[in-house]
Amino acid sequence: ASSLLLCFRTSLVAPLIFGLLLQPPLTQLSSITQPNIVLLMADDLGIGDVGCYGNDTIRTPNIDHLAKEGVKLTQHIAAAPLCTPSRAAFLTGRYPLRSGMDAINNYRVIFWNGGSGGLPPNETTFAKILQRQGYTTGLIGKWHQGVNCESRDDHCHHPLNHGFDYFYGMPFTLISDCQPTETPEMDRAFRRKLWLSTQVIGLVTLTAALGRLTGLISVSWKTLTCLAGFSLLFFVSWFSSYGFVRYWNCIMMRNHEVTEQPMVTARTTSLILRESISFIERNKHKPFLLFLSFLHSHTPLLTTEKFLGKSSHGLYGDNVEEMDWMVGQVLDAIDKEGLKNTTLVYFASDHGGWLERHEGKRQLGGWNGMYRGGKAMAGWEGGIRVPGIFRWPGVLPAGTVIDEPTSLMDIYPTVVHLAGAVLPQDRVIDGRDLMPLLRGTVEHSEHEFLFHYCGTDLHAVRWHQKDSGSIWKAHYVTPIFRPLGAGGCYDRGFCPCFGEGVTHHDPPLLFDLSRDPSEAKPLSADTEPLFDTVIKKIGRAIEEHRRTLTPVPEQLSVYNAVWKPWLQPCCGTFPFCWCDKEVDN
């Protein structure tokens, strides 16, 4: 009987052991030295635009497959709801106001290639650290962190001054002004005011001149001459910048050289993809960092003919599906070179989708799923909760979903540690190394509090109460939606951070995101017994956080934001700046 029992146990255990042997073992991190790192960042992509995050109409098979083979984060949070500050935080692992990359005014992003603001040279990006560790580092696509400080060629804010060995792409960001057939987007309302003012001044000058000629108005020719001169100077002062936005901002660069001015948008997608794959092929024999910063899915939604009209969501859906195809092409290049198991791939968006972006009945912005709010809104989840996917076969467990608060700032310490380096000790780093969480060696994120800034104004704070599983979020300032209940600031196009367009809350609005991720039902002292305790705890965290802040130069000040001719990148002799050097290639 005992022998039969032993045989029976053996028959059960043997298949189990055999099955475990067939499972690919997770490699010990200590045995891996300096993996390749590929960072893929979409522009203005909503979390609800991706299949693996719940969208069942826009087709994103390559991004979905990336999540299936890796780890999907469901509470991945941008440090800001707009491009420039969010990307500054991503590159430095620090809240953007620590580097002066958040605004105290309405200039909340870099406005001109010819402006003087940008990511300060004394900031240490993860690219700079990896470069010191022997990595070849490349940035393909969008930068939007400034170019020059004091002269046209100082390149103090340029990617090559921030740790990238190679740069090809837009130093600015894609805007509708880059597409001649589209309605101008940049500072549209302000431009209308300038045109109106010019017409009024011109009309006054013309009326005075006619009155003088007909004898109806007694005015000297000297006064008329001064008035005409002022009219001309006023017109030239603003039209020299806003009248040539396409030439000043819509340019392509390779390293320090301007290659297209203005850019030829019909081939931009193919060139960015070609450059990305070429970078992988050139550097396959040594550790590399590739930051592919997509121009998709920012307006004007540059989409090649192959994808036009193919989605169920108009031009925006076409554009997202093309970006997914580009992701697939990059992943195929990694596989082709035999680098899949030695490459950490990361996919995310810089912030939430732009709800208010439309032309007539055409919706040109993204969808943020069940989350309230969108781009430019720092407090509501729709503006800051983004896709976050990691893949590293053999190291990260495939098909894993992690519902813990994480941040785009966490990429900084994560890749720094993987490269075998140490974090800078002379500054506060707000990000946390994600590898223990991604590998499943710890249960909870290291973040207890995350602070959500709109410019330099603190709009909301979240507290991850790990012992209870609650994720409390207190809103101190919220934008006023127009029309009321519309979910966005459709009257402005962007929700503001301060002024008449916001509401201050005392006591703050409180939500428990673990029970109410859509932030639909604010809690109160009457409905939540822990209300006062939670508000006091968050208040103390804010006080401690503010003690870590130090004054820094404001990179997005009005002076730094305005266009300066002497800083404008130019491929000819200024102001004759036009070229197409890609024709030669």
Q: Which residue among the candidates 83, 149, 495, 577 is catalytic per the annotation? A: 83
Contact predicate 89/69, CB 8 Å: no
Q: Return the residue matching tokens 């019909």.
A: 266
End-to-end CA distance of the chain: 81
Among residues 354, 386, 311, 379, which one has the least CA distance to residue 174?
354
The whole-angstrom separation of Cα 33 and Cα 420 is: 8
Position 219, amino acid = V
| Residue 452 tokens, joined | 């959500």
Residue 28: count of CB within 10 angstroms of its CB:
8
Query: What are the beta bridge partners of residue 167?
Result: 139
> Active site includes 351?
no
Reference 88, options 74, 75, 99; nearest CA is 99
Handedness of CA 518, 524, 527, 531 (dihedral sign): positive
Half-sphere exposure of 90 (CA within 13 A, CB side): 29
Q: Is 285 a catalytic residue?
A: no
From 52, 65, 144, 459, the catalytic residue? 144
Q: Is the dihedral of CA 56, 60, 64, 65 positive or negative?
A: positive
How many other CB atoms sit within 10 Å of the CB of residue 490? 14
CA distance 137 to 122: 19
CA distance 100 to 346: 27
Contact status, residue 56 vs residue 63, Cβ threshold 8 Å: no
Distances (CA, A) of 93 to 86, 87, 366, 413, 423: 10, 10, 26, 7, 10
Neighbours of 328 (CB within 10 A): 16
Contact (CB, 8 A) for 422 and 388: no
Cα pseudo-dihedral 227, 230, 232, 236, rounded to 10:
-170
Cα separation, 40 vs 273, whole angstroms: 12
Looking at residue 497, the DSSP 8-state letter turns out to be: S
Q: How far apart are CA 314 and CA 364, in angstroms?
A: 8
What are the Cα distances from residue 264, in Å, to 48, 179, 205, 259, 580?
31, 9, 40, 10, 8
Q: Strand 470-479's sheet: what is its strand order? A: 449-454, 457-465, 470-479, 502-512
- What is the sign of the dihedral through the CA atoms of 139, 555, 116 and 250? positive
DSSP string, 448-498: SEEEEEETTEEEEEEEEETTTTEEEEEEEEEE--BSTTSSSBTTTSS--SS
Token pair for residue 198?
A: 């010019």
Dist CA 267 CA 286 (whole Å): 30
* Burial category of 16 from C-beta neighbours within 10 Å (exposed 0-12, middle 13-18, buried 19 and up): exposed
- Annotated catalytic residues are 83, 144
